[in-house]
Amino acid sequence: MTNGIDNNGGSTSDTTSNIESICQNGALMSESAVPGAYSSVCMGLPERVIPLPKYRERGQPGTIIVQQQAGGSGNTGMTVWNSGLLLTRLLDAMVDENDNNFWMNQDVIELGCGTSLCSIAAQQLGARSVIATDGNPGVLQLAESNVRRNCYYTKLNIRTEPLQWGFLNSMDYSECASFVIGADLTYNAGSWRVLAETIATILKTKNDKMDDNNALTGTITSTASNQCYALYLSIGHEGFNVNAEMDGFLSVCKSFGLVILPNGVEGIDVESLLLTSLSEPEKKILAQSGGFRVAVLGRKELQRL
């Protein structure tokens, strides 16, 4: 690219405009290695606009706008990553075409929330309560700003909280979550143990869902499925084998009483569901990066035979 002309003969301003258009439609872009982290052209923008199609179908605004800041070593949570975009799509896809909203009776905690994109998505899709947590104070400040921006009128059921992983640190949230979410948290094998320990601590033993009548009477009725879930997604990157990373982490999870749920979430094959949301260029981007994995975990006490 020279003198304002890109390699295809177009102006650099046209190229920049096209990139911004792609980025502001929630599309995946290639993430390449930079010192201490990874980066993409979309990470350089001051904010990202991410569609939430099922929310739009419900007669409400169908986008999330999140502010982001330049990342790099120590501040990787301040930008929107492909993994966060994928997890957001998956949460959205779990609202089926018949408006059977899985989220309306879920108490969600996100670990390593970063910009809080996924937490905001869970809240807007109808979660009963959402706590977006992160261990980096600067990241958490950005997350809080994004929550205020997107959930101004409905912020009563979503909040941000500091959380360092580990049993003692997570005891304040013991059995608070019927659904734990997280994305790209296992790139450092040294964190696997405390992350698994945290999930096992905060995940409820069972999810007793209350309908409006039960809420008025104070009685609790379990639905057909009172399974609680941890939904974790990871993407391959240069220098990281996503399969080895995920398999290693899941083996640690088992030592803390967590089990892999082979039937997914309420019988939903989440990886297959997510694949249906990808364009062909996005599939190529993921294939070039090493693919992705989604794991669904539950507490051992409720594993159904």
| Strand order across the beta sheet in which 179-183 lies | 158-162, 129-134, 107-110, 179-183, 229-235, 292-299, 258-260
| Structural domain boundaries in the chain | 77-302
> What superfamily does domain 77-302 belong to in CATH?
Vaccinia Virus protein VP39 (3.40.50.150)
- C-alpha radius of gyration, the chain, whole number: 19
What's this model's pTM, rounded to 2 decimal places?
0.87
* 3-state SS assignment for residue 152: coil
Strand partners, 190: none
| pLDDT of the residue at 56 | 64
Type of residue numbered 29: M
| pLDDT of the residue at 54 | 81
For residue range 61-97, list pLDDT tens digits in order.
689 999 998 755 556 789 999 999 999 999 999 887 5
Confirm if 187 and 240 have CB atoms less than 8 A apart.
Answer: yes
| pLDDT of the residue at 170 | 95
| pLDDT of the residue at 98 | 54
Q: CA torsion 232→175→229→124, rounded to 10°?
A: -80
| pLDDT of the residue at 154 | 66
Residues 210, 249: Cα–Cα separation, whole Å: 34
Residues 69, 7: Cα–Cα separation, whole Å: 29
Residues 6+ apart with CB under 8 A from 62: 51, 52, 53, 55, 56
Stretches in the chain below the pLDDT threshold 70 = 1-17, 36, 56-61, 71-75, 97-100, 154, 209-225, 301-305
| pLDDT of the residue at 95 | 84
